[in-house]
């Protein structure tokens, strides 16, 4: 075992950690973990932790089921909330993000974290590293006994305060917990819809940010549960209200320099930034299958609820798919903001697809369409056609079809994950089609 890993084991024991959660993410973006005692951590560092990959969605067949979790020593964190034994004794838990490997020690091709690492490696060969800054939104609802519900916890709106924003205490406790784990939280506030909130944290290198998104979601749900309520990252839990998105700010860096900054360019966007933007737009239909991966995602991506359904870009234009945020420090902070993703996305796969498309845009020196700085929400269909503004896929099925037809995004995922992902998501859509909703009963029963 390396000295760094030995020091980690010693420090965790001194801090009173009793259990360590070895964390990873399946292809659907669902967090998983295997819990071990602190005494077993040295062995996990040295040998990895074996588990049955055939039991994890999209991982492996029965005949290839042996997998190993290799803890990443740079991802160790101690959860700031205490757990208790039945006798009331308090103890601490730690978490470590793991890479999934084969018994031979090779990266498993179905591991979403490795897929992003591989595409980030392609960026590195070009001299780039992708940095991302997410803005995840979520709802908090009351619980009915032990079960979650859609009973509103508050009826606040954008930037409301207590007593209207009854979720403020929960949100602050989430922020405090994140900061204790090393997050740099930039903002936290009530969002537009009732019981809806947003917490933004500082941008970081893409793999680390994907790790942080998964930790953030787990933390949010845990703290909400401690407050007797439930948190959900479901994009559209309430009909007639804005849905939850996860806008992602993106930029490429090279040796500490922001490659998206162009001093004398319109919007301060460099040629690389324009090419990168064009690459995303070129492949956005297939990317949407990953950034908006559920049937429910497409109930957010509809006109009238501030969701970006129009394929366009512009400066400070919140009706566009991609906007260029204003900044007082353009040399460092010039970036683009992709506004379509939602928080059900597997961040590793979503970032890998976005990066692959952007890099291809740079390689081919693609040119984005003309920017649109008008309010597209209120633009006529004729005006959209004249400006050649397309629309995002209108359903999960449409997005999956686009993924099937996009060789580049399939390359980003690899054949294993492409096959397993399409299989799982088509199955999800078929399952949804068989459901008869309350709306259908109300709409049709009395007339037909």
- Residues with catalytic roles: 52, 135, 137, 191, 198, 247, 318, 337, 339
> What sign does the CA torsion over 289, 374, 381, 282 have?
negative
Tokens of 208: 């680390």
Sign, Cα dihedral of 353, 359, 363, 367: positive
Residues composing the chain: 448
- Nearby residues of 216 by Cβ (< 8 Å), 6 or more positions away: 136, 178, 183, 199, 201
Q: For tokens 């006529």, what's the residue? A: 380
Other residues' Cβ atoms within 10 Å of the Cβ of residue 428: 16
Backbone angles phi, psi at 372, to 5 degrees: -120, 115
Burial of 154 (0-12, 13-18, 19+ CB in 10 A): buried
- The Cα 212–Cα 353 span in angstroms is 18
The Cβ of residue 86 has, within 10 Å, a number of other Cβ atoms equal to 5
Residues 6+ apart with CB under 8 A from 286: 353, 399, 402, 403, 405, 406, 408, 409
Q: Strands 17-25 and 90-101: what pairing? A: parallel
Separation of CA 68 from chain center: 24
Which residues lie closer than 8 Å to 214 by C-beta, 6 or more apart? 23, 25, 31, 97, 347
Q: From CA 344, how far away is CA 347, in angstroms rounded? A: 9
Cβ atoms 321, 311 nearer than 8 A: yes
Beta strand pairing call for 313-315 and 185-190: unpaired
Neighbours of 122 (CB within 10 A): 16
């Amino acid at each position: 075992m390396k000295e760094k890993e030995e020091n980690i084991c010693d420090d965790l024991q001194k801090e009173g950690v009793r259990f360590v959660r070895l964390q990873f993410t399946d292809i659907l973006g669902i967090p998983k973990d295997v819990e071990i005692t602190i005494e077993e951590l040295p062995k996990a560092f040295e040998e990895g932790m074996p588990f049955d990959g055939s039991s994890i969605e999209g991982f492996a067949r029965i005949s290839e089921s042996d997998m190993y979790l290799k803890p990443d020593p740079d991802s160790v964190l101690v959860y700031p909330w205490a757990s208790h034994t039945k006798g009331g004794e308090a103890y601490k838990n730690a978490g470590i993000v793991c890479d999934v490997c084969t018994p031979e020690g090779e990266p498993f091709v179905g591991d979403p974290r490795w897929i992003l690492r591989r595409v980030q490696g392609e960026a590195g060969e070009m001299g780039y590293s992708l940095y991302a800054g997410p803005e995840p939104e979520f709802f908090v609802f009351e619980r009915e006994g032990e079960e979650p519900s859609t009973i509103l916890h508050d009826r606040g709106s954008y930037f409301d305060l207590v007593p209207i924003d009854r979720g403020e205490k929960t949100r602050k406790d989430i922020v405090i917990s994140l900061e204790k784990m090393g997050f740099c939280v930039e903002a936290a506030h009530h969002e537009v819809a009732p019981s809806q909130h947003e917490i933004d944290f500082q941008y970081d290198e893409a793999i680390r940010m994907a790790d942080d998104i998964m930790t953030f979601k787990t933390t949010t749900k845990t703290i909400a549960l401690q407050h007797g309520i439930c948190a959900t990252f479901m994009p559209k839990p309430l009909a007639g209200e804005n849905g939850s998105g996860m806008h992602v700010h993106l930029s490429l860096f090279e040796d500490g320099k922001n490659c998206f900054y162009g001093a004398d360019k319109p919007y301060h966007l460099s040629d690389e930034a324009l090419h990168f933007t064009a690459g995303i737009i070129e492949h956005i239909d297939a990317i949407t299958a990953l950034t908006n991966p559920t049937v429910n995602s497409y109930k957010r991506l509809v006109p009238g609820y501030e969701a970006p359904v129009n394929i366009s870009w512009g400066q400070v234009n919140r009706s566009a798919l991609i906007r260029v945020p204003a900044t007082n420090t353009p040399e460092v902070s010039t970036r683009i903001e992709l506004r379509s993703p939602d928080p059900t996305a597997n961040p590793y796969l979503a970032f890998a697809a976005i990066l692959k498309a952007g890099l291809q845009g740079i390689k081919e020196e693609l040119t984005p369409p003309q920017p649109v700085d008008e309010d597209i929400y209120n633009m006529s269909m004729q005006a959209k056609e004249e400006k050649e503004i397309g629309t995002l896929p209108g359903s999960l099925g449409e997005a999956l079809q686009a993924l099937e037809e996009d060789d580049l995004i399939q390359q980003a995922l690899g054949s294993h994950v492409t096959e397993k992902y399409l299989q799982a998501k088509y199955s999800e859509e078929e399952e949804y089609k068989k459901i008869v909703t309350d709306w259908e009963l109300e709409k049709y029963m009395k007339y037909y």
